[in-house]
Structure 1
Amino acid sequence: MTDRIVIFYGSKKDFEELIARETDKNQTTIPFMELIQHYNARLRPNESGVRESALSHNILVDNCIVRADDYGSVLEHVLSNFVNIVTLNHDIGSLFVHNPPRKVRDSLRSTYGDEIEYFNTEYPDLTREKLKEVYSNIDADILGQSNCKKQIISGMYRLITKTNNKPVVLMLYGPSGVGKTESAKSISKAMGGELLRIQFSMMQTTEAYNYVFGAEHSKGSFARDMMARESNIILIDEFDKVNSAFYNAFYELFDEGHYVDTNYDVNLGQAIFLLTCNFGSEEEIKKKLGPAMFSRIGCCVEYEELSTEQKQAIVQNWYNAIISSLKEDEKKEIQKTDILDWFLKNAERYDNIRILKTKLENAVFNRLAEAFVIA
C-alpha cells in the first residue's frame, strides 16, 4: 500500500530539492533499489541476502525515493510491474518518482490515476526584462558579432508573446571558434541552469540512432536528457553532422515542442534550440538539411571571422584569467616572459579561437613546468 504518489519531471537538482523539502531526516526513507532486493528475495530467496523474517510481513516506511538512474539497473519487466513490485513487501507513506519511463508512469496511472501529484522543474518565463539580461550577458561575453546578438534576441522575443507552444529554433553558422558555442553558454547562464549540450557528431550511426529514437530503457537517450535538463536552452553542436535519416525525429519537436521516443515523451514548448554548423551560407545549410528540415529553423544567424583587434582583446582576457589563477611566484615567472606580447602580435595568424586559447595556455604551463618541476 502507498498513501501518496509524487511524480517529478525535470532536473536532478530540483528533484533533490523537492526531496529535501518533503521529507524529514527523522523519517524512515529507503531507496528504490532496496525494494528491488526484497523483490529479488521473493524470486530467489537463497541468493538475495534478505532474511526470511523480513518477507513474512509488510515493512512500514515513511518514504521511498526512485531516482532517474535507478531504472537503468533493473530489467524490463520491473518497469511494467512497477506498482506491484513497489508494494510487494512494503507499506509506503510517500513514493517519490523522478522522470519515470512511460511504462513506469502507465503502471502508476493504472492504479492511482488522479491521486498522483505532479511536480516539475520551473523554467524562467522569458520577459522583456529577462531578454535584456540575456542581451547584456551575451554582449559582455562575446566580442564583436553585433548582428548575431541582435538576431538571437529577435528570434527569442517571440516566446514573450506565448501565442503558441512552439519552441524557438536558431541555426548559428560560420567558422569554427568565433563564438557560437560560447553564445549558447552565455544565454543559458542568463536564463538559469547548466546548458544542455548535445554532440551527435561524436556518435557512430547505430549509437546515434539509439540515442535519438530510444532503445533499451537502461541506455541514455535524447529524450531522457531533455527531460532532465536544468536549462531551457538546448545546444545541438554540428547539427549538419547528424545523419539526414534522423531529421524526421525533429519535425514534431520543432513544430509543436513535443518529442517521443521508445521510453519517454517530453514537452519542450517554450525551449530554445540553438543548432550550430560550420557552413558559410544559408544556401549551403538548406542544401545539406533539405527543405523540410530547413523550413523548421526560425532564423539562420551568421557568425563572422573576428578582427585582429578582437582576437587581441580575447588573448588579453584569457591571459589575465590565467594569471589570476596562479600563485605569486608563478605570476612573476610568467610576467617576465614575452608570452603575452608574442600572442598579441601573432593573434591574426589564428583563424580558430579555440586553437589560439590552447596555444596560449600551453605556452604558459610549459614555462611553469620548466621553471618549477623539470628544472
Structure 2
Amino acid sequence: MVRDIIIFKGSKKDFDEYVAERIGDSSYTPFMELIQKYNARLRPNESGVSEEALSEKIPLDYCVVKADDYASVLPHVLSNFSTIISLNCDIACLLVHNPPRRVEDSLKIYSENSIEYVESEYQHISREKIIEIYKSLDNEILGQHKCKKQMVTGLYKISKEDTDKPVVLMFYGPSGVGKTESAKSISKSLGGKLLRIQFSMMQTAEAFNYVFGAEHSNNSLAKDMLSRESNVILIDEFDKVDPRFYNAFYELFDEGKYVDTNYDVDLKQSIFICTCNYDSEESIRMNLGPAMYSRFSECIQFGELEKEQKLKIADRWYRVVLSKLDREEIEVIEETNILDWFNSNIERYDNIRILKTKLENAVFQKLAEHYIFSQKA
C-alpha cells in the first residue's frame, strides 16, 4: 500500500532539493532496494530470505524513485509499477522523479487525492530580468550589438504577451562569432545550466529514436527537456538535422507541448534558441521550408567580428588561461611574446572558438617545452 504519492517533474537538482526539504533528517529507501525485495520474492530459493520474512509487509516512511532508476529495470516493471512497489512494503510517502507515462498511469490506480504533482519552477521573464540579461550579454559577448538588441526585443515581447507559447529564436551566421555563447549567457541570467542539443550528431536511426522516443532505458529529447535546469534550450546546428525530424517540432514551437513514446513534456514559456550557418533569412526559408521558418519568432543575424573586438577577446582569453597557472608558470609565459604574436596576427582568425583554442595551445606548448621537453633523460 502507498498512502501519499509525490510526482515531481523537473531537474535532478530541484528534485534532490525537494526531497531534502520534504524528509528533513529522516532517511529514505531507494527504489532499487524495493526491486531487490521484489526479485527475492520471485526467486526465494536464490535470495536466501525465508518465506516467513518475505510474507511480512515492511513499513517504510519514505521511498524515493530517481529518474535514472527506470533505465535499470525491464519494461514490465514500469507497467506494473504500483503492484511491484507495494508487494512487500507499506509506504507512507513515495517520491517519484520524472516518471515515464507507464509508471504514471500505473500509479493512478490509487485515489487521485493520494497523488500530488510538483514541478521545477523557472524564472519569470520580467522587465528587471531582461535588464539583467542585456547587461550580461553586453559584458560577456563582444560586438554583435544589433543581435543583442534583437534578442532583448524578443524576450520583452514574450514578457508582455498573455500566452504560454514559447519564444523561438534563430541565430544565424558564420561559426565562432558568439551564437552559442549568447545562448549560454541568457540561460545563466535565468538560472540553471543550459540544455544544449547538437543536431549535427543526429544522422542515424539512433537519432530518430532520440527525437521520437524508443526504449525507456535510452536517452531521448523528451527526457532531456523534462529534466532541464534552465528554461532556455539551445538546439545547435538546426540546419544539420534530417528534415523528417521537423515534424516533431511543429507543436512544440507552436504550443510548448512535446509528446514521445514515453513522456509528455510541458515547455510553455520556454526560450528555444536554434542556430545555423546560413547567411540570410531567405536561405533559412528555402532550406528549412516555409512551415519551419514560420515557427521562428525572430531570425537574428550574427556577423563577422571586427579587429578591435577580436583583440579584446584574445586579451580576455589570455588572462583566463593564465588564471589556471601557478605564479612560476605565469612568469614563464609573461616572458614570451605569445599574446603579442596573436595580436599581430589576429586577422587570421574569423572563428573565435579556433582563436581561443590556438592561444591556449600556444601557452601550454611553451610550458611543456620549459618544464618537460627541456629536461634531459
TM over 0.5: yes
Distance 2:371 2:128 in 1: 50
Deviation per CA, 1:176-233: give whole Å up to 9, x if none: 0000000000000000000000012113321110000000001010001000000000
Give the CA deviation at 1:258: 0.4
The Cα RMSD (Å) is 1.1
Which residue in 2 is equivalent to 1:336? 335
State whether structure 2 residue 360 is matched by structure 1 residue 327: no
The 5 A counterparts of 1:53-132 are 53-132=52-131
Q: Is the 8 A contact 1:205 1:243 kept in 2?
A: no
Match of 1:341, SS state, is helix
Match of 1:176, SS state, is coil
User: Which residues of structure 2 form unaligned runs of 5+?
Assistant: none
Q: Is the 8 A contact 1:37 1:48 kept in 2?
A: no
Distance 1:114 1:282 in 2: 51
Which residue in 2 is equivalent to 1:144? 143
Q: Is the 8 A contact 1:8 1:99 kept in 2?
A: yes
State whether structure 2 residue 39 is matched by structure 1 residue 3: no
Q: Is the 8 A contact 2:236 2:276 kept in 1?
A: yes
Deviation per CA, 1:290-332: give whole Å up to 9, x if none: 1111100111000000011111110000011111221111011
Q: Is the 8 A contact 1:196 1:234 kept in 2?
A: yes
Q: Is the 8 A contact 1:5 1:117 kept in 2?
A: yes
Distance 1:49 1:353 in 2: 62
Give the CA deviation at 1:50: 4.5
Distance 1:77 1:340 in 2: 61
Match of 1:61, SS state, is strand
The 5 A counterparts of 1:272-283 are 272-283=271-282
The 5 A counterparts of 1:290-309 are 290-309=289-308
Give the CA deviation at 1:48: 3.8
Distance 1:20 1:211 in 2: 32
Which residue in 2 is equivalent to 1:16? 16
Give the CA deviation at 1:288: 1.2
Which residue in 1 is equivalent to 2:134? 135
Over 3 Å counting, the alpha-carbon distance change for 1:50 and 1:143 in structure 2 is farther
Give the CA deviation at 1:159: 2.0
Over 3 Å counting, the alpha-carbon distance change for 1:80 and 1:356 in structure 2 is same
Give the CA deviation at 1:369: 0.9
Match of 1:47, SS state, is helix
Q: Is the 8 A contact 1:102 1:265 kept in 2?
A: yes
Which residue in 2 is equivalent to 1:46? 45
Give the CA deviation at 1:144: 0.6
Distance 1:69 1:370 in 2: 45
User: Which residues of structure 1 form unaligned runs of 5+?
Assistant: none
Give the CA deviation at 1:53: 4.2
Over 3 Å counting, the alpha-carbon distance change for 1:106 and 1:309 in structure 2 is same
Distance 1:48 1:235 in 2: 48
Letter in 1 for 2:165: K
Match of 1:369, SS state, is helix
Distance 1:372 1:50 in 2: 61
Q: Is the 8 A contact 1:38 1:50 kept in 2?
A: no
Letter in 2 for 1:68: A
Q: Is the 8 A contact 2:203 2:241 kept in 1?
A: no
Q: Is the 8 A contact 1:28 1:61 kept in 2?
A: no
TM-score by length of 2: 0.97
**For this pair of structures, how many residues does the alignment match?**
374
Over 3 Å counting, the alpha-carbon distance change for 1:22 and 1:365 in structure 2 is same
Letter in 2 for 1:122: E
Q: Is the 8 A contact 1:37 1:50 kept in 2?
A: no
Identity of aligned residues (%): 62
Match of 2:4, SS state, is strand
Match of 2:110, SS state, is helix
Q: Which moved more, 1:195-204 or 1:312-321?
A: 195-204
Which residue in 1 is equivalent to 2:265? 266
The 5 A counterparts of 1:185-264 are 185-264=184-263
Over 3 Å counting, the alpha-carbon distance change for 1:331 and 1:74 in structure 2 is same
Letter in 1 for 2:103: V
Q: Which moved more, 1:42-51 or 1:189-198?
A: 42-51
